[in-house]
Amino acid sequence: MQNILVLGGTIEATRLVAELARAGLPATLSYAGRVDRPKPQPVPVRVGGFGGADGLAQYLRTHHITHLVDATHPFAATISTNAVRAARLAGTPLLALTRPAWIAGDGDLWTHVADIPAAVAALNVPRRTIMLALGRMHLHAFAARPAHRYLLRLVDPPQTPPPLPDHHIIIDRGPFDVTSDKGLMQAHGIDLVVSKNAGGTGAQAKLIAARQLQIPVLMIDRPALPDRAQTHDIASVLDWVRS
């Protein structure tokens, strides 16, 4: 009998565990515990780190996990690297469920940068009104660019005020929709959007809104990840689990 561990935190992970529950395949969804109230799920959920790759390998062994699915966000490079090592140590089959990177379409005004530091460097420009849609974990990096006005969208109210003298905080969680993101950008007079190349649909609204409003986007490329088997579709994961 299968005993599946899904490393979650994305819409695709949520959709996958719904399919696994429907198919009656035993699965556990794992969250890091980054936000106060993770989304309720139709399968058992565990919250918190494992204690590095060795801790995850130990979890795989002691819980007799038969299949490990890495359905984490493309910027969650540490857990994905740990998953490759842990799966090898424990001899557990691993499959990554990922989503293709976004590609600029007609009308998109994107500038690509390699990572967060490169995005900060690229903001060495006269004062802008920036939608910094990167969440909470990287705000400190932008303290180097205090001249700009920032619109911040966070999942939870921050414990400490962000280190940005001129900022406005919106508390909201995705998936987002184009109409409200467009209204938000117009209401705040946004003239630049900074975004991770997350892919998928949950964070895409701001890019479609930016295209419609002809607002430029600073697009942060994904970090490198180790080689591993991966798929973009949930049906392939179900086939793999059943094989």
Positions that interact with ligand NAP (CB under 6 A): 7-10, 30-32, 34, 49-52, 55-56, 72-73, 75-79, 82, 135, 196
CA distance linking residue 139 with residue 116, whole number of Å? 10
Q: Which is nearer to ligand 3Y8, 31 or 59 (CB)?
A: 31
Looking up tokens 């980054």, which residue turns up? 34
Closest CB 101 distance from ligand 3Y8, rounded Å: 12
196 binds ligand 3Y8 per the rule CB under 6 A: yes
10 binds ligand 3Y8 per the rule CB under 6 A: yes
CA angle (70 as vertex; 68, 76 as ends), nearest 5:
145
**Which one among 67, 145, 153, 182 touches ligand 3Y8, defined by CB under 6 A?**
153
CA distance linking residue 134 with residue 236, whole number of Å? 30
x-or-dash string of contact with ligand 3Y8, 128-147, rule CB under 6 A: -----xxxxxx---------
- Give which of ligand 3Y8, ligand NAP, none residue 82 binds (C-beta under 5 to 8 Å, depending on kind): ligand NAP
* Total site size for ligand 3Y8, rule CB under 6 A: 32
Check: CB of residue 240 under 8 Å from CB of residue 95.
yes
198 binds ligand 3Y8 per the rule CB under 6 A: yes
Task: Give alpha helix (H) positions in the chain.
Answer: 11-22, 52-62, 77-90, 116-122, 178-188, 205-212, 234-242
Q: Which is nearer to ligand 3Y8, 95 or 198 (CB)?
A: 198
- Give which of ligand NAP, ligand 3Y8, none residue 237 binds (C-beta under 5 to 8 Å, depending on kind): none
Looking up tokens 């009656």, which residue turns up? 24
**Which one among 151, 203, 218, 219 touches ligand 3Y8, defined by CB under 6 A?**
203
74 binds ligand 3Y8 per the rule CB under 6 A: no
Closest CB 136 distance from ligand 3Y8, rounded Å: 4
Q: Which is nearer to ligand NAP, 126 or 157 (CB)?
A: 157
- The amino acid present at 143, given as its one-letter code, is A
Contacts with 148 (C-beta within 8 Å, 6 or more apart), sequence order: 123, 127, 128, 129, 130, 164, 166
Closest CA to 6 of 58, 70, 87, 55: 70
**E strand intervals along 148-191:** 149-154, 167-171
183 binds ligand 3Y8 per the rule CB under 6 A: no
Check: CB of residue 201 under 8 Å from CB of residue 100.
no
**Which one among 44, 117, 175, 226 touches ligand 3Y8, defined by CB under 6 A?**
175
Check: CB of residue 221 under 8 Å from CB of residue 112.
yes
Query: Given the rule CB under 6 A, which residues bind ligand 3Y8?
Result: 9-11, 14, 31-35, 38-39, 73, 133-138, 153-156, 173-176, 196, 198, 200, 202-203, 206
